[in-house]
């Protein structure tokens, strides 16, 4: 931290109250995987705006499109009027991404941020099914506004509401009680009139729980949930806000399980360039909002539409999904050979370019010490999961191999310095 700016930093810390506690400096520049602070110190970014920067900081291809649009006096704001960026984004997304993968979705613009997409999904599911209850998984994170927070089980997040939150039944995630068949359990809740549980309008889940601690839900389990939803006329909502946009090696995270959710939420990297943007995809028969029933000032922000289309082009033209699949085994091997071997209490798990190093078996807050040590050593990583005990590894998806290796080596060194 620059001594000149200590006062300014303290102000930020007291006002922002979150990430700057872990990363006590003032960042001024970012390019690709590298973020630079005002003292000129460079950090490898394995946090990636928690999934908002899958295509890297200031991706040159997307930047060019954004700058070109600004230089040509493109319309910056038009509420939901039809504009060229909107038409081009919709056409490209539908024709190049959604349909070639065998899906048929309508695109609903919902606002700037992930929780807007989740709120829209909840609102629509409840309207269509005329039921209030929703099933959500323990350990999931879906957002901080009242509806999405009601789905989220993290106690610290829920404290922000200060009151009980309703209309959600929380189901253990499949990894929590391996002996419990959670799909059979849900079926029992739905069918047993002594369960005391209202049949839900929807079941919402992340195919890999990200902020919950990097838990990859099995393909077969996801298929069984899809079948359960079909059997009982319940909508399946996949929250792809964090693990969508190719993070796991598939543009839509659920492609790996061969399922088609009824509603999909997208945000973070769908904005391409770190731009605020959120979408809800719906099966066409769910498109039941009349004009005015779900609108808002920043739904479909023009510059985000420009960046989002360029982001999709980059994703396809640069074969980003392949890049993730190529890098994943390298990360997995590194974690098994160079991190799990540091201490037998450390476990690792993940998918694509989303991995977790779990320190939950240690006494004390080891994960916190590790991320602070990593920061000193020039690496930005965050922690997630129960008691924040899992260090999350989330590089840009086309991270150069030498940067990936360097970042992982810094992490290993930092862990050794803390626990070794
Ligand atoms: N859903 C998931 C799966 C998320 O990871 C997040 C953010 N971490 C959200 C929803 C909420 O997104 P936002 O913070 O943009 O509101």
Atom of ligand 1 nearest to the CA of 206: 3
Query: What gap in Å lies between CA 19 and CA 44, rounded to an integer?
Result: 16
Pocket test for ligand 1, best of 142, 254, 383 (most atoms within 8 A of CB): 142
CA 349 to chain centre: 17
Query: What gap in Å lies between CA 387 and CA 336, rounded to an integer?
Result: 23
Atom 1, ligand 1: which residue's CA is nearest? 142
pLDDT of residue 80: 85
Atom of ligand 1 nearest to the CA of 210: 5
Atom of ligand 1 nearest to the CA of 50: 8
pLDDT of residue 5: 53
The phi, psi pair for 402, rounded to 5°, reads: -70, -35
Atom 15, ligand 1: which residue's CA is nearest? 114
**pLDDT, averaged in runs of 10, over the chain (420 residues):** 50 56 90 97 97 98 98 94 96 98 97 97 98 98 97 92 95 97 98 97 98 98 98 98 98 98 98 96 97 91 97 98 98 98 98 98 96 97 95 98 98 96
**93 C-alpha to ligand 1 centroid (Å):** 21
**196 C-alpha to ligand 1 centroid (Å):** 30
pLDDT of residue 420: 82
Atom of ligand 1 nearest to the CA of 278: 15
Pocket test for ligand 1, best of 47, 49, 137, 143 (most atoms within 8 A of CB): 143
**241 C-alpha to ligand 1 centroid (Å):** 6
**34 C-alpha to ligand 1 centroid (Å):** 23
Ligand 1 neighbours by CB, cut-off 6 Å: 50, 113-115, 118, 141-143, 206, 210-211, 239, 241-242, 267
pLDDT of residue 7: 53
Atom 10, ligand 1: which residue's CA is nearest? 142
Name residue 236's beta-bridge partners. Answer: 203
pLDDT of residue 3: 44
pTM of the model: 0.96
Stated as kind and residue range, the H or E segment containing 390 is strand 390-393
Query: What gap in Å lies between CA 247 and CA 208, rounded to an integer?
Result: 10
Query: What gap in Å lies between CA 325 and CA 367, rounded to an integer?
Result: 27
The tokens describing 195, both together, are 């369960």
Contact 286, 234 (CB under 8 A): no
Atom 5, ligand 1: which residue's CA is nearest? 242
Q: Which residues contact 342 (CB under 8 A, 6 or more apart)?
A: 412, 415, 416, 419, 420
The tokens describing 62, both together, are 């997307």
Q: Count of H helices and E strands in the chain?
A: 14, 17
pLDDT of residue 1: 43
**4 C-alpha to ligand 1 centroid (Å):** 34
pLDDT of residue 8: 53
Query: What gap in Å lies between CA 207 and CA 259, rounded to an integer?
Result: 11
Q: At what angle do helices 401-419 and 320-334 cross, to 10 degrees?
A: 30
Reduce the DSSP state of residue 297 to 3 states and report it: coil
**123 C-alpha to ligand 1 centroid (Å):** 17
b vs e for 291-321, b when ≥16 Cβ sit within 10 Å of the residue's Cβ?
Answer: eeebeeebbbbbbbbbbbbbbbbbbbeeebb
Contact 57, 45 (CB under 8 A): yes
Atom of ligand 1 nearest to the CA of 148: 10
């Amino acid at each position: 931290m620059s001594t000149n700016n200590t006062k300014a930093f303290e102000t930020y810390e007291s006002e922002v109250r979150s990430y700057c506690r872990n990363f006590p400096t003032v960042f001024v520049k970012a390019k690709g995987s590298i973020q630079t602070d005002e003292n000129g110190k460079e950090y490898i970014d394995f946090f990636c705006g928690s999934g908002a920067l899958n295509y890297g900081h200031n991706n040159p291809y997307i930047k060019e499109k954004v700058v070109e649009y600004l230089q040509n006096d493109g319309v910056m704001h038009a509420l939901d009027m039809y504009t060229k960026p909107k038409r081009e984004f919709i056409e490209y997304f539908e024709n190049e991404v959604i349909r070639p993968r065998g899906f048929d979705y309508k695109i609903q613009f919902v606002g700037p941020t992930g929780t807007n997409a989740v709120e829209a999904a909840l609102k629509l599911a409840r309207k269509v099914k005329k039921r209030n209850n929703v099933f959500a998984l323990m350990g999931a994170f879906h957002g901080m506004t009242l509806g999405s927070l009601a789905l989220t089980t993290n106690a610290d997040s829920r404290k922000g509401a200060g009151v009980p939150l309703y209309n959600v039944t929380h189901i253990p995630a499949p990894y929590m009680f391996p002996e419990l068949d959670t799909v059979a359990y849900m079926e029992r809740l739905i069918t047993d009139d002594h369960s005391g549980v209202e049949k839900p309008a929807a079941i919402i889940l992340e195919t890999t729980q990200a902020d919950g601690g990097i838990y990859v839900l099995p393909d077969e389990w996801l298929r069984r949930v899809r079948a359960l939803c079909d059997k009982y006329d319940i909508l399946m909502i996949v929250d792809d806000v964090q693990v969508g946009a190719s993070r796991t090696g598939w543009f839509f995270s659920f492609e790996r399980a061969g399922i088609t959710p009824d509603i999909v939420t997208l945000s973070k990297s769908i904005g391409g360039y770190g731009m605020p943007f959120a979408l809800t995809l719906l099966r066409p028969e769910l498109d039941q909002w009349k004009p005015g029933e779900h609108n808002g000032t920043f739904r479909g922000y023009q510059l985000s539409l420009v960046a989002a289309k360029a982001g999709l082009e980059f994703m396809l033209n640069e074969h980003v999904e392949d890049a993730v699949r190529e890098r994943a085994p390298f990360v997995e091997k590194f974690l098994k050979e160079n991190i799990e071997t540091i201490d037998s209490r450390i476990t690792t798990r993940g998918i694509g370019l989303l991995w977790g190093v779990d320190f939950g078996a240690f006494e004390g807050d080891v994960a916190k010490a590790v991320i602070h040590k990593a920061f000193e050593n020039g690496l930005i990583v965050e922690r997630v999961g129960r008691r924040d005990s899992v260090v999350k590894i989330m590089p840009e998806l086309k991270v150069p191999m030498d940067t990936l290796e360097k970042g992982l080596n810094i992490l290993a060194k930092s862990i050794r310095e803390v626990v070794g």
